[in-house]
Structure 1
Amino acid sequence: MAEQTIRFDDGAAYEQMMGIWSRSAGEIFLDWLAPPAGLRWIDIGCGNGAFTELLVERCAPVEVQGIDPSAEQLAFARTRPAARLAKFRQGDAMALPFADRSFDAAVMALVLVFLPDPVKGISEMVRVVVPGGSVVTYMWDMLGGGFPLDPIYDEIKAMGIPANRPPRMDASRMDALRELWLGAGLADVQTREITVQRTFSGFDDFWATSLKSPALRPSVAAMKPADVEALIAQVRARMPTDTDGRITCNARAHAIKGRRPG
């Protein structure tokens, strides 16, 4: 599988393709964290603000800063109700534009595997939280069948066709997350799995929504028409369909939390 830079530059398309999934997993994630009200949060790789909105809705923060490299995604985020509190700015997860100890909690939602250097990204999370502050993430289980688009990627792989994938999918493994958090010197490290479902009105809905992925879309666009037809047939055959033609898919994420000592 090819590993290339993947850019998310369409906030509306991301909302349909992944924002709904992110929200489902994010709700369970926040229930697990059970953070107190009144915290200062940084949402790193906030994208179009899907998870940022959950923070504002459910956690009664006093401050939320959303950081993302995509101006287009941030523009979408600023249209959300969360923008009444959350501030969004362009920035690099591996060089956060904030002083040391600026926040009570740092979170990445579905971001870690896209960082060229996860160790550096986590060190930045630790740097910007106060002693005792939380450093947390959840990430699809990219190598264990937990990614929502795996039904399509698995069939592309079976056809022997290259596809765009994130650069550090290994960082999504639970043992890898633990190693990263412990290696960053974090204390009270805990993990859990998060399983979610999503129902599509039919195969066409599932296919069109999935093709909004900025990684998957160019992979399929580069295929020969006959291969695309074969891919669609193979994916359709493997998807569970109820009597009304609806398709319900499962996804699984790995979550981890830790505390900066001090």
Structure 2
Amino acid sequence: MANEQIRFDDGAAYERYMGKWSQLAGEAFLDWLAPEPGWRWLDVGCGNGAFTEMLVERCAPASVSGIDPSEGQLAYARARPASRVAQFHQGDAMALPFPDDAFDAAVMPLVIFFVPDPGRGVAEMARVVCPGGSVSAYAWDMAGGGFPYEALHAEMRAMGVAVPVPPSPGASRIDAMRDLWTGAGLEAVETHEITVQRAFADFDDYWATILGGPSVGRALAAMASDDLALLKARMRERLPAEATGRITYSARANAVKGQVPER
């Protein structure tokens, strides 16, 4: 199961599990990116449209296109208010179905470790962005323990439960991202570390969220009831609650941006 492909087909479940984390990291990322209004945007690996909606709401875009392999996720994205501006397409990050120089900016939010050939994905973003345009990404620091549910994954592994692993977990290291961007011929490459915090109302809120988590839900559902109870107890100890019962903890992402050279 450790090598099982991770699929996100349920937009609503993903929204609860990762949508809030995505929003927190996305806001910090856009603050750092500081994009200009009027850009033509491409959101690569748009999923259920959480970040796409932020582009529509915050960046005054001329247009926004989102692309993702999952029709289930795209159906959720198309139901968002952002769909009044954004268009969503099914497709592959390594073979973008767009002509050269079609966008002013391409962004890959929380996606690069899911791309089997990250270098090819970055090269495709650079291809479809016009000279002088922006190519950027942010992704959880998987190798450095920055993933929001790393504590859960660590406890599962300690119990001998296989945790699905994305195909390119090392691609989100900050040095790896810099190398991918410079390797694609992008200029003025900069990197940035993002730390965000999320609060859950109480442990039950956290537990219900991870039980519906698209990447671990099936593994948890397959566990024997006694083992699942033990995992729940371990996580309750690992995530100490405040006096109100609220649980707050942080996650860390790495970000990178660069420009397509003038030709």
Same fold, judged at TM 0.5 (above): yes
How much has 1:223 moved relative to structure 2?
2.1
Amino acid at match of 1:112: I
Checking the alignment, whether the CA contact within 8 Å between 2:110 and 2:140 is kept in structure 1 is: yes
| Post-superposition offset of 1:224 | 2.3
**Contact 2:109 / 2:139 at 8 angstroms: preserved in 1?**
yes
Letter in 2 for 1:69: P
Mapping for residues 85-234 of structure 1, pairs under 5 Å:
85-234=85-234
Distance 2:140 2:26 in 1: 11
Q: Are 1:30 and 2:30 matched, yes or no? A: yes
Q: Which whole-Å deviations, capped at 9, do the CAs of 1:165-218 have from their partners, x for residues lacking one?
A: 211111111111111111111110101111111111111110111222221111
8 Å CA contact retained: 1:4, 1:167: no
Query: What number of residue pairs does the alignment pair up?
Result: 262
Counterpart contact for 1:96–1:124, Cα < 8 Å: yes
Matches within 5 A, 1:232-247: 232-247=232-247
Hey, what's the Cα distance between the residues in 2 that align with 1:168 and 1:157?
19
Equivalent AA in structure 1 for residue 225 of structure 2? P
RMSD: 1.1
Secondary structure of the structure 1 residue equivalent to 2:256? strand
Per the alignment, in what secondary structure is the counterpart of residue 53 of structure 1? helix
Amino acid aligned to 2:58: R
Whole-Å separation in 2 of the counterparts to 1:11 and 1:52: 14
Which SS does the other structure have where 2:100 is aligned? Answer: coil
* Normalised TM-score (structure 2): 0.97
Query: Within 5 Å, which residues of 2 pair with 1:248-259?
Result: 248-259=248-259
2:78 maps to 1:65: no
Contact in 1 for aligned 2:13/2:214 (Cα 8 Å)? no
- Asked whether the 8 Å contact 2:104–2:134 carries over to 1, the reply is yes
Q: Distance in 1 between matches of 2:108 and 2:76?
A: 18
Structure 2: give runs of 5+ residues left out of the alignment: none
- The alpha-carbon deviation at position 240 of structure 1 amounts to 2.3
Question: Quick one: percent identity of the two aligned structures?
Answer: 61
CA distance in 1, matches of 2:260, 2:212: 37
Letter in 1 for 2:171: A
Deviation at 1:161, TM superposition (A): 2.2
State the 4+ residue runs in structure 1 displaced beyond 6 angstroms. none
CA distance in 1, matches of 2:193, 2:209: 25
Counterpart in the other structure of 1:21: 21
Give 1:7 shift: 1.1
Q: SS at 1:8's partner residue?
A: coil
Matched, 1:74 2:79: no
Question: How far apart, CA to CA, are the structure 1 residues paired with 2:229 and 2:194?
Answer: 33
AA of the residue aligned to 2:162: P
Question: Which whole-Å CA distance do the structure 2 matches of 1:66 and 1:55 have between them?
Answer: 11
Question: Residue deviations 1:142-183, cap 9 Å, x none?
Answer: 121211111210111222321112111111111111111111
